[in-house]
Amino acid sequence: MDTKAFLGIQAVSTDDATRGKWSMVVRPGLVTGGSFLWGGCGLAAAVSAIEELSGRTCVWATAQYLSYARTGETMEVDVTLAVVGHQITQARAVCRVGEREILTVNAAVGERPFEHAHSFVQMPDVPLPAALQQREHRGDITNTIHEKMDERFVIGRELEDLDGMPNDGRTLMWARIPDVIEGVDTATLAVLGDFVPMGVGQALGVRGGGNSLDNTLRVVRLVPTKWVLLDIHIQAVERGFGHGTVNMFAEDGTFLATASQSCIARMWREPK
């Protein structure tokens, strides 16, 4: 399936060339362990709708998370193309469950001729996913997004290694969504880019993580790949909030995209 089928997002109506409505049911497999929509899936749905209405590929998109959408709820995605230029469209999408605003996405999509192109970020030298093991999760992942993802640590701490000592802030992980056989697009990267909260627990070395305040994605260049290498850097945890970045690479080494995020840092609620 493609990412639209994976997300279950469907066009409802198009008012005119600059406004449209999409809808998706928050299905099991799109949610966190807390049974609410995985932030990256929200950004993915919005960007996917924006790309469809505009006919252009994402350059940059930011989601602001305002509330939670729970399993079984229906989320409506309202897209507005605010400025449509010759090469670039500036867009926004508001995602709601009933009257409740779940997230707002601002984005720029397009393509421009420019005589210079260069990637200044190199993929680190890492083992291939086939040589690595699936990472362990703390709880049952049935009916969560993690059931739909393969996640293999290159640099990462398993649960028993969370010793309360901060490391250098870096987590390296291969990830893929096996259901999405059409290849990696912007929406896939949005789903896979939502790992700063996990990185916060990894960086601090604690049984914790966070809830996203935002999710910012900058798409450099798309090439066919199944696995995506996530090079996660936590920059700081201060005032109760974590901040970090995720550089994303294709199997052939292409620098695909970079994501960044701030989150509410939280310890896990442990069973008593």
Chain residues binding a copy of itself by CB under 8 A are: 57, 59-60, 62, 64, 66-67, 82-83, 87-88, 90, 92, 101, 104, 106, 108, 111-121, 166, 168-169, 203-204, 206, 208, 213-214, 216, 218, 220-221, 233-241, 243, 245, 247, 255, 258, 260, 262, 264-267
- Of 13, 38, 14, 18, nearest to 27 by C-alpha is 38
Distance in Å, CB of 169 to a copy of itself, minimum: 3
- Partner residues linked to 232 by β-bridges: 171, 246
Nearer to a copy of itself, 48 or 260 (CB): 260
The answer to whether the CB of 13 falls within 8 A of the CB of 20 is yes
Nearer to a copy of itself, 104 or 188 (CB): 104
Nearer to a copy of itself, 6 or 195 (CB): 195
Distance in Å, CB of 119 to a copy of itself, minimum: 5
Helix (H, G, I), strand (E, B) or coil at 42: helix
Q: Find all residues with CB under 8 Å of 11, minimum gap 6, and list them.
A: 20, 21, 22, 49, 52
Nearer to a copy of itself, 111 or 161 (CB): 111
Distance in Å, CB of 29 to a copy of itself, minimum: 27
Nearer to a copy of itself, 108 or 187 (CB): 108
Give the DSSP letter string of 185-252: -HHHHHHHT--HHHHHHHHHTSSEEEEESEEEEEE------S-EEEEEEEEEEETTEEEEEEEEEETT
Instruction: Output phi, psi for 181, to 5 deg.
Output: -90, -5
Question: How far is Cα of residue 49 from the mean position of the Cα atoms in its chain?
Answer: 15
Distance in Å, CB of 101 to a copy of itself, minimum: 7
Distance in Å, CB of 220 to a copy of itself, minimum: 4
Burial of 165: CB neighbours in 10 Å, binned 0-12, 13-18, 19+: exposed
The answer to whether the CB of 41 falls within 8 A of the CB of 149 is no
Nearer to a copy of itself, 38 or 249 (CB): 249
Distance in Å, CB of 156 to a copy of itself, minimum: 15
